[in-house]
Amino acid sequence: MNIHIDHFSLSARNAFESAARLRKETGLSFWTGEWVRDISCHMVPLGNGPRGKDAFIEIQCFVDAHARRKDTRPNYRYDALSVDNEYNGDYWTGLMLGVDSLADLEAVARRLGGDVTPEDSRTNPYNHFQRPDGYVLSYQSAPRYPRGRPDKWPMDMPGFYFYPDVPGRSSNQPVVASPHMRTPAGVKWVTFGGTNELLSDWMGCDAETTIPVKFNGKAVGVWEVCVGMADGHDNVIRRPAAASVIPDDSKYRRAT
């Protein structure tokens, strides 16, 4: 099974502000307009590299104030973003791994005791990411835990994804041209919390030799992403992991 880094989720209070700030910091541009349910994403393609191919960052924020205010259930992302930090409340909220077939995804789900999300993008488009041109993004992910997330695993263990439409992937869409824009050349490495033992147990293989990951022993989740650049020095994007500000995640472990 070929497991690779697929994408990163960077949650922001305001994705528009966050993406503009990230571009000033790194030269990485983005495209806009993708949304699902009550969130929207600015997509930052990271280019293709030998070990981190075809990856991207989704900078996401809530865009439906009413939905959020009416939903009284505990919300992990909202609670993390409520804590101030030096990045205007930006937190890494996900490392997403990719596999190359539905069969691989189903094997991952079985091993982790969960399900695969249904492929209902044609019959239930509003449950999927969609773009302004009407394109509905088809993908499936695992593990989904219909009866709640097992206590064994921290909240921010990576999800696994399978995208059947590679040209339609978020990483392969054109970004907005802007001054001082730079050209990414793939993910070089990512710093993750926890240990190699924990992530390897989750991935079912040795994490360090499968993906370009380093560990800092802190709260589980992404802490740094190093992006190789075709036009000069690497970019290291540092933001705190969401778990670093959620001391007890037990109340968020509802069905997904």
- The residues, any chain, with a CB within 8 Å of residue 232's CB and separated by 6 or more, are 182
Determine the Cα–Cα distance for residues 172 and 8; give it in Å rounded to an integer: 15
Q: Which of 133, 147, 174, 233 binds other proteins (CB under 8 A)?
A: 133
Determine the Cα–Cα distance for residues 2 and 160; give it in Å rounded to an integer: 11
Round to the nearest angstrom and report the end-to-end CA distance of the chain. 25
Q: In terms of Cα–Cα distance, which of 195, 207, 191, 197 is closest to 240?
A: 191
33 binds other proteins (CB under 8 A): yes
For the beta carbon of residue 28, count every other beta carbon within 10 angstroms. Answer: 24
Q: Which of 23, 77, 169, 182 binds other proteins (CB under 8 A)?
A: 23
The smaller minimum CB distance to other proteins, of residues 205 and 245, is found at: 245
Query: Where in 185-224 is the site for other proteins (CB under 8 A)?
Result: none
Query: Where in 77-116 is the site for other proteins (CB under 8 A)?
Result: 81-82, 89
Q: How big is the site for other proteins, counted in residues (CB under 8 A)?
A: 37
31 binds other proteins (CB under 8 A): yes
User: What amino acid occupies position 17?
Assistant: E
66 binds other proteins (CB under 8 A): yes
Q: What is the dihedral of CA 136, 140, 141, 147, to 10 degrees?
A: 100
167 binds other proteins (CB under 8 A): no
The smaller minimum CB distance to other proteins, of residues 42 and 169, is found at: 42
Residue ranges that bind other proteins, judged by CB under 8 A: 13-17, 19-20, 23, 30-33, 35, 38, 40, 42, 61-69, 81-82, 89, 130-134, 176-179
